[in-house]
Amino acid sequence: MRRTGVVPPLLRRALAPRTPHCHRHCDRPQRGHNLRALAPGWLCVYACPGGAVSVITYSEWSNADPTARLLPFVRAHTTPATLVRRRDLRLARRHGPELGAEAERYLARVHPPRAVSTVYWRLYPFKKKDGTVFRLFVCFRHGTERVQFFVAPGNIMSPPCPKCRVRTR
Amino acid sequence: MAEPKRLTIVLAPWCPHCEPLSVTEGNRLARRLKIPLRLLDIDHAAQEKEADRLVRRYGDSAPDYLIPQVFLEWSDGRVQHLLTGFSEEVPRTARAWADLLRSAWLRTLIRGASG
């Protein structure tokens, strides 16, 4: 059995959505970008080809709430950090029966029972005073952790990253 | 021996993971278990208090917690958290309900109740 926290590939497959799409931006399919920046769990950023983020997930195979691990990470990688509010991070535990037969069997072998705990960070699009709608974008070109979150007007397809000034795609 | 007593879903009517999806599937699960279904609307002041209590004590608690959250109450007083909506997308929550309804856990529970 794996050590506490690590999410094995079988459980990652069971957790992942099959058809994530970008809503209210480009309607193109989204990809789950797996990042190795946060141990021991599984950090995944769901973003469209234009860099618009729908949700960031961090999962650990553990009954413990991993919010305290994700919160400082996203704050450290978001410009400005004040965009990351504690109330926008939400916990969900997955027990097995809701993950399909293979994952259910896999999780049932572990005693005492251990759920997969996922924390979601979702920043909903918001309006600034002039009425412009802003939303969260991501750039993957930074350092070893290769991720930078920032906000830009939601009608831009690939806004430039404020750190590297390169367009997301 | 303890038996399932009631299924409760904490939800909001504006949430596409909740209505109609979780209400429909929750009804299906409750019928299979032959127990009543209770819906707790977090926008309804009287129901919100009980919803918050269930989520804080047995569910996936957060300052602004995820919905829907589904709980199975047992005759011995236990409350079991069964499912929380998948924030990724509504079809992922639909898949979770489908998997739950055909799970080995549910088959065993129904066999135990009828045996």
Annotated domain spans of chain A:
9-153
Q: Is ipTM > 0.90 here?
A: yes
pLDDT confidence band for B74 (50 / 70 / 90): very high
DSSP chain A: -PPTB---HHHHHHHS-SS-B-TTTT-PBPEEEEE-SSSSSEEEEEE-TT-BEEEEEEEEESSS-THHHHHHHHHHTEESGGG--GGGEEEEEE-SGGG-HHHHHHHHTSSS--PEEEEEE----EE-TTS-EEEEEEE--STTTT-EEEEEETT-SSPBPTTT--B--
Amino acid A55: pLDDT:
95
How much is the pLDDT for B102?
97
- At residue A25, the pLDDT reads 82
Mutate to test the interface with A, among B15, B55, B86 (most CBs of A within 10 A): B86
The pLDDT value recorded for residue B81 is 98
The alpha carbon of residue B88 is apart from the nearest alpha carbon of chain A, in Å, by 7
Q: Where are the domains of chain B?
A: 4-114
CB A138 within 8 A of CB A31: no
In tens digits, chain A (169 residues) has pLDDT values of 556 789 999 999 999 998 888 887 888 888 999 998 888 999 999 999 999 999 999 999 999 999 999 999 999 999 999 999 999 999 999 999 999 999 999 999 999 999 999 999 999 999 999 999 999 999 988 755 779 999 999 988 888 888 887 665 5
A31, closest residue in chain B (CA to CA): B88
Give the residue on A whose Cα is nearest the Cα of B89: A20
Closest CB to B100: pick one of A57, A87, A98. Answer: A98
Q: Which residues pair with B81 in a beta bridge?
A: B71
- Classify domain B4-114 at the CATH superfamily level: Glutaredoxin (3.40.30.10)
Please answer yes or no on whether B100 and A21 come within 8 Å at the CB atom.
no
Residue B102 with chain A: CB contacts under 8 Å: 101
Alpha-carbon span A115 to A141, nearest angstrom: 33
For the stretch B21-57, pLDDT in tens is 999 999 999 999 999 999 999 999 999 999 999 999 9
Q: Write the CB contacts of A52 (distance below 8 Å, at least 6 apart in sequence).
A: A22, A25, A26, A135, A136, A137, A154
pLDDT exceeds 60 at position B67: yes
Dist. CA A152–CA A160, nearest whole Å: 9
* DSSP code for B88: T
Nearest by CB to B60, from A86, A88, A93: name it: A93
In eight-state DSSP terms, residue B67 is: S
Query: CA dihedral in degrees (B33, B39, B42, B48; nearest 10)?
Result: -90
Computed over every residue of chain B, the mean pLDDT equals: 96
Of A87, A98, A101, the CB nearest to B83: A98
Searching chain A, which residue's CA lies closest to the CA of residue B103?
Answer: A97
- The CA-atom distances, in angstroms, between B24 and each of A67, B17, B20, B72 are 31, 11, 6, 16
Question: Nearest CA to CA, how far is B46 from chain A (Å)?
Answer: 23
SS3 B85: coil
**Could you tell me which residue, A1 or B72, shows the higher pLDDT?**
B72
- Which of A65, A119, A88, A94 shows the shortest CA–CA distance to B64? A88
Decide if A98 and B63 are in contact by the 8 Å CB cutoff: no
